[in-house]
Amino acid sequence: MKTTFSRTLVALAVFLLAALLLVGLSFQLLVRGYLVDQTVQRLQQDSSALAKLASAYASEGQLTDRTFLINLSLVAGIADSDAVICDAEGRILTCSDAPFGCEHQGLVLSEEYLQELLSQDFVKTAGVIGGLYKDPRYGVSCPIRSQNGNILGFVVTSTPTAFTAGVSQWISDTFLLVSLLVVAVFMVAVFIYARKHSYPLREMAKAANDFGHGNLKARVSRHANDPREVQELTLAFNNMAVSLEKSEYQRQEFVANVSHELKTPMTTIGGYVDGILDGTIPPEEQTRYLQIVSDETKRLNRLVRSMLDISRLQEQGGIPEEKKTRFDLSECAGQVLITLEKPIVSKNLNVQVDMPEYPLFTNACRDSITQVFYNLLDNAVKFCPAGGTLGLKIRKGGNKAYVTISNDGQTIPPEELPFLFDRFHKLDKSRSENRDGWGLGLYIVKTIICSHGENISVTSQAGVTEFTFTLPVVN
């Protein structure tokens, strides 16, 4: 299966090769143009020199003289070109490659080519020159003039194009070979570099795969020589792994706690109902046991309702602004305190209330804050000994309202304080006492306060436990 790295590497290699070939083609065209220009310029110089030489001999009628033919062959050989001497009618008299007799003697230049020679000082051509040669050539022709300017004949110098084409081909082959070598070295270097620097990513993939197979302890190692982005990604991955492990632990703990809490009432309800159905419980006792079944059913209903409230708050991720209203915090707390009058009186508690004499308004979800007051005050009454003190204090500090609910009783151990707001946490690990509670009250309180963007804390010293939370103050 192709990976993103392999596809990227191949794409980069193709782009690099294409760029090198484009540069090579441009370089080849420049070199080829330069070679052609130099060749034509050299042929022009050669033809001009030969025309002067031929003019000197032609003025004395010695164009076919042995000395001229030897000089013609010598000059053309030094110039590394071929030269052909024609008379004024375009008939070829001799050539440099066989001055004492060649196959070109007797041939006549084409009329069209001859007319160009008559009208110009130099005629530059590329290809087959006037039917003289079978192979393509670069050629330069010029007239042979006497001292008074009359045309005595023509000189045609040429050289095969094969040399220039050969140089161009050699350059192309060399550049292509070098390009392929550069691409090969590039791919090897990039492969080694990428493999080295992609090791953390492969390690993350392995850790993620381990997570998918249930290994929540998998982590990615951090290396000091890794790039900063990779180190940040490694740190974020490990933080996510810790969070997932914690969430999984909480989920397992939640399932275990719910199972434990449901087991006792369900067993009680099932046992009593079976006892009534099979006659084990006599008719005169059935009403009492049915009342127990009813109480246990109500407890289960409260548990389900509390769990639904928690789920709703967590799904919302916060209290929507449209559900927030402006209300008097002191009035809300007083109304909740009145609803608890019966248990307060039955335990003969000393209630100390410290509230502002003026209304203290806040902007929050009133129903949720009422539940916070109820849960905290109900807990305070429940754990306060008979004849103890129950405290409710509300004060303003800056743009915040600070609410403190306290009660006398047993001091909570310091190691237990951080866990008081956890789900199903109870100081009594056996859960045999306080059967009316599920350990969800304080968790709901913290969830509500946090969903308002506020804070809640707890202290317990010298037999006094205090819960303090904040809410915003509005005019």
Q: pLDDT tens digits for 249-283?
A: 767 766 766 676 677 678 778 888 888 888 888 88
In the numeric block, which tokens belong to residue 168? 């161009």
Contact in structure between 130 and 110 (CB atoms under 8 Å): yes
pLDDT reported for residue 1: 46
pLDDT reported for residue 131: 58
pLDDT reported for residue 316: 66
Q: How confident is the model at residue 82 (pLDDT cuts 50, 70, 90)?
A: confident
In the numeric block, which tokens belong to residue 281? 């419980």
Q: How confident is the model at residue 345 (pLDDT cuts 50, 70, 90)?
A: very high
Give 268-320 as a DSSP string.
HHHHHHHHHHTT-S-HHHHHHHHHHHHHHHHHHHHHHHHHHHHHHHHHHTS--
Contact in structure between 269 and 296 (CB atoms under 8 Å): yes
Which residues of the chain does CATH 1.10.287.130 include?
228-315
Burial of 379 (0-12, 13-18, 19+ CB in 10 A): buried
The mean pLDDT value of the chain amounts to: 80
Q: How confident is the model at residue 432 (pLDDT cuts 50, 70, 90)?
A: very low
pLDDT reported for residue 435: 43
Which residues of the chain does CATH 3.30.565.10 include?
317-472
Residue from 24, 60, 71, 325 nearest 178 by CA: 24
Q: Is the dihedral of CA 267, 272, 274, 275 positive or negative?
A: positive
For 17-52, letters b (16+ CB in 10 Å) and e give beebeeebeeebeeebeebeeebbebbbebbbebbe
Asked whether the predicted pLDDT for residue 248 surpasses 70, the reply is yes
Identify the H or E element spanning 54. helix 4-58
Question: Looking at residues 337-365, what average pLDDT do you find?
Answer: 92
Contact in structure between 401 and 375 (CB atoms under 8 Å): no
pLDDT reported for residue 433: 39
Cα separation of 206 and 229, whole Å?
Answer: 19
Q: How many Cβ atoms are within 10 Å of 85's Cβ, its own excluded?
A: 27
| C-alpha torsion angle, residues 167, 172, 174, 175 (rounded to 10) | 130
End-to-end CA distance of the chain: 66
Asked whether the predicted pLDDT for residue 171 surpasses 60, the reply is yes
What share of the chain in percent tops pLDDT 70? Answer: 83
pLDDT reported for residue 22: 81
pLDDT reported for residue 258: 67
What is the CATH code of the structural domain delimited by 317-472?
Answer: 3.30.565.10
Tell me the per-residue pLDDT of 409-425, one tens digit each, with 9 for 90 and over. Answer: 888 888 888 888 876 66
Cα separation of 315 and 328, whole Å?
Answer: 28
Question: Looking at residues 427-432, what average pLDDT do you find?
Answer: 44
What share of the chain in percent tops pLDDT 90? Answer: 16
Contact in structure between 466 and 405 (CB atoms under 8 Å): yes
Angle among Cα 405, 407, 408 to the nearest 5 degrees reads 160
**Please, what CATH class does the domain formed by 4-166 belong to?**
alpha beta
Q: How confident is the model at residue 287 (pLDDT cuts 50, 70, 90)?
A: confident
Q: Which amino acid is at 428?
A: D
Question: Looking at residues 318-346, what average pLDDT do you find?
Answer: 89
Task: Using only the alpha carbons of the chain, give its radius of gyration.
Answer: 53
pLDDT reported for residue 470: 95
Tell me the per-residue pLDDT of 296-319, one tens digit each, with 9 for 90 and over. Answer: 787 777 777 766 766 776 666 677
Q: Is 385 or 14 the better-scoring residue by pLDDT? A: 385
In the numeric block, which tokens belong to residue 100? 């004492």
Tell me the per-residue pLDDT of 369-428, one tens digit each, with 9 for 90 and over. Answer: 988 998 899 889 999 999 999 999 999 998 999 999 999 988 888 888 888 887 666 555
Tell me the per-residue pLDDT of 203-222, one tens digit each, with 9 for 90 and over. Answer: 778 887 887 777 777 877 77
Contact in structure between 74 and 64 (CB atoms under 8 Å): no
Give 237-278 as a DSSP string.
HHHHHHHHHHHHHHHHHHHHHHHHHHHHHHHHHHHHHHHHHT
Q: Is 39 or 393 the better-scoring residue by pLDDT? A: 393
pLDDT reported for residue 364: 92
Q: Which amino acid is at 104?
A: H
Question: Looking at residues 438-444, what average pLDDT do you find?
Answer: 71
Taking phi over 0 as left and psi of -120 to 50 as alpha, with beta for the rest, 61 belongs to: left
CATH number assigned to the domain with residue range 228-315, chosen from the 4 options 3.40.50.10470, 1.10.8.80, 3.40.190.10, 1.10.287.130: 1.10.287.130
pLDDT reported for residue 437: 45
Residue from 445, 467, 473 nearest 372 by CA: 445
Between the alpha carbon of residue 442 and those of residues 85, 371, 432, 467, the distances in Å are 117, 11, 19, 10
pLDDT reported for residue 431: 40
Tell me the per-residue pLDDT of 96-124, one tens digit each, with 9 for 90 and over. Answer: 766 556 666 767 777 777 777 777 778 88
